[in-house]
């Protein structure tokens, strides 16, 4: 029996919930789950979006813009981390004594209402592996509930409300939000130097992952990752390792490139279970596919059925997502925002049959850009041409004196352009047949990709 927290008691006693920022990628799947459990929903947002249309289709009352009157007769107000504390709806809820709850606390409360919660964590690959596990379970009639950080093409959304006790959750370490959850099974993909503006040291970062996987009864760990192994030291959970080395419980062997990705033999404890065919580029996705394979296999899904589901997986939204091809030029969009992810994405791109790889990168947060500047330079140098936007500061003030030009000046063929319109115009004038153009970043660089796509589709 999972130990209940105060927010769990609130969820139990209310029926009407108002969600500020209901169209956000983190809020929309929670709205779907709440709707599936019979809650009456309303919400507000500033921008129209596909997730917002989906929420409306559920029957939720949605207001454009934020106003104190919007919360109506709600018994609980939920808000995303992006909502400021002086938001009029949040202020009105406090004035009236209506309970308020940040999104990560709501997600945590929901995880304690399922018997088999699979929490996927790690610095890189969370969205991909959460999507893969969800796709395997969904296509094999296990009817999972899912909360994913990106859109899963199979579902057309980034979450779903299932009727089984299986819940698959992307579990993000940023400011320790995943510690609000209660996973039964944890999956630790890797640990890399990120969010050090919050964690300060790698030891603190490893400790955070240690705390998360300690809450589960079974932990799947990347046995080839030294920091992941360190995070698993001393936990009470059953530890199952996966990786390329044969001393792992699950390992991949006979890895071979295929037309759209890699294929490999999956082994458990030295016994070959079956061949797995991936349709997404990048050798790092062998690890991701193997992690999903291990979890699904131990849940009773046959190797053949796992392979069938993975062979249909074409990537999550913004994970090497194909957007357009015209006149011999291909456009894709990717969420890569850390040097390790950029290196993996660009290496995968260079392994494909393109004449040039043109990387359009939006640095995200001043702290990460300053701390990892040299690593960004090395990763971006893989591309044949680099276009940088100004740094998107998000929640931060630039106390570091860092700017995108500091990266561009260390690259052979790089330029900084101020606006997405400038980038689209530059691409229109300079693209060549055989180019792969890839937009990358954790902010809103996808908007530049959409402008480029518009131009490509006109020509």
Give me the sign of the Cα torsion angle 77, 81, 86, 87. negative
The alpha carbon of 196 is separated from its chain's Cα centroid by a whole number of angstroms, namely 19
* 8 Å CB contact between 169 and 203: no
List 92, 100, 126, 389, catalytic entry: 126
Question: What is the token pair recorded at 32?
Answer: 């779907």
List 100, 111, 123, 127, catalytic entry: 127
**Eight-state DSSP code of residue 2:** P
Using DSSP bridges, classify how beta strands 321-326 and 16-20 pair: parallel, antiparallel or unpaired: unpaired
Question: Considering just the CA atoms, what is the radius of gyration of the chain in Å?
Answer: 22
List 32, 170, 263, 341, catalytic entry: 170
Q: b/e for 226-237, b at 16 or more Cβ within 10 A? A: ebbbbbbeebeb
Using DSSP bridges, classify how beta strands 61-64 and 116-121 pair: parallel, antiparallel or unpaired: unpaired
Whole-number Cα distances in Å, 426 to 70, 328, 430: 43, 17, 6
Per the annotation, the verdict on 375 as an active-site residue is no
Per the annotation, the verdict on 410 as an active-site residue is no
Per the annotation, the verdict on 53 as an active-site residue is no
**Dihedral pair phi/psi, residue 366, rounded to 5°:** -70, -40
Q: Cβ contacts of residue 216 below 8 Å, gap of 6+?
A: 119, 183, 184, 185, 186, 237
Whole-number Cα distances in Å, 11 to 6, 56, 75, 264: 9, 22, 10, 44
Element (H, E) at 34: helix 28-36
* 8 Å CB contact between 148 and 313: no
Residue 298 CB neighbour total at 10 angstroms: 15
* 8 Å CB contact between 292 and 133: yes
**Dihedral pair phi/psi, residue 317, rounded to 5°:** -55, 135
**Dihedral pair phi/psi, residue 152, rounded to 5°:** -95, 115
Q: Whole-angstrom distance between the N-terminal and C-terminal Cα of the chain?
A: 60
Catalytically active residues, by annotation: 126-127, 170
């Amino acid at each position: 029996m999972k130990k209940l927290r105060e927010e769990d008691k609130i969820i139990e006693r209310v029926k009407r919930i108002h969600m500020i920022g209901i169209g956000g990628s983190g809020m929309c799947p929670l709205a779907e789950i709440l709707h599936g459990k019979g809650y009456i929903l309303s919400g507000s947002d500033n921008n129209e979006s596909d997730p917002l249309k989906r929420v409306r289709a559920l029957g939720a009352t949605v207001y454009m813009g934020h106003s104190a009157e919007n919360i109506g007769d709600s018994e609980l107000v939920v808000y995303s981390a992006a909502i400021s504390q002086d938001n009029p709806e949040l202020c009105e809820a406090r004035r009236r004594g209506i309970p308020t709850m940040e999104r990560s606390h709501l997600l945590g409360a929901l995880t304690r209402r399922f018997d088999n919660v699979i929490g996927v964590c790690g610095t890189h690959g969370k969205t991909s592996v959460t999507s893969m596990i969800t796709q395997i379970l969904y296509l094999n009639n296990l009817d999972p509930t899912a909360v994913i950080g990106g859109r899963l093409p199979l579902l057309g959304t980034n979450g779903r409300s299932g009727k089984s006790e299986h819940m698959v959750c992307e579990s993000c370490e940023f400011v320790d939000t995943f510690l609000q959850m209660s996973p039964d099974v944890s999956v630790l993909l890797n640990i890399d130097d990120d969010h050090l503006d919050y964690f300060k040291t790698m030891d603190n970062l490893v400790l955070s992952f240690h705390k998360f996987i300690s809450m589960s009864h079974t932990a799947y760990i990347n046995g080839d990752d030294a920091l992941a192994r360190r995070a698993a030291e001393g936990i009470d959970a059953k530890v199952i390792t996966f990786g390329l080395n044969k001393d792992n419980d699950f390992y991949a062997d006979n890895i071979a490139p295929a037309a759209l990705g890699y294929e490999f033999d999956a082994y458990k404890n030295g016994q070959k279970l079956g061949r797995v065919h991936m349709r997404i580029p990048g050798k790092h996705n062998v690890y991701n596919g193997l992690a999903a394979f291990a979890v699904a296999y131990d849940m009773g899904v046959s190797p053949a059925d796992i392979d069938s589901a993975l062979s249909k997986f074409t990537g999550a939204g913004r994970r090497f997502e194909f957007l357009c091809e015209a006149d011999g030029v291909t456009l894709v969009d990717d969420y890569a925002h850390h040097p390790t992810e950029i290196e993996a994405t660009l290496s995968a791109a260079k392994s494909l049959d393109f004449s040039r790889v043109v990387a359009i990168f939006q640095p995200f947060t001043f702290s990460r850009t300053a701390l990892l500047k040299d690593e960004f330079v090395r990763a971006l140098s893989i591309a044949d041409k680099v276009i940088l936007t100004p740094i998107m500061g998000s929640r931060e003030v630039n106390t570091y004196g860092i700017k995108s030009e500091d990266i561009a000046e260390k690259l052979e063929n790089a330029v900084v352009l101020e606006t997405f319109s400038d980038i689209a115009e530059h691409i229109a004038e300079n693209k060549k047949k055989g180019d792969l153009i890839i937009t990358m970043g954790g902010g809103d660089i996808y908007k530049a990709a959409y402008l480029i796509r518009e131009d490509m589709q006109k020509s």
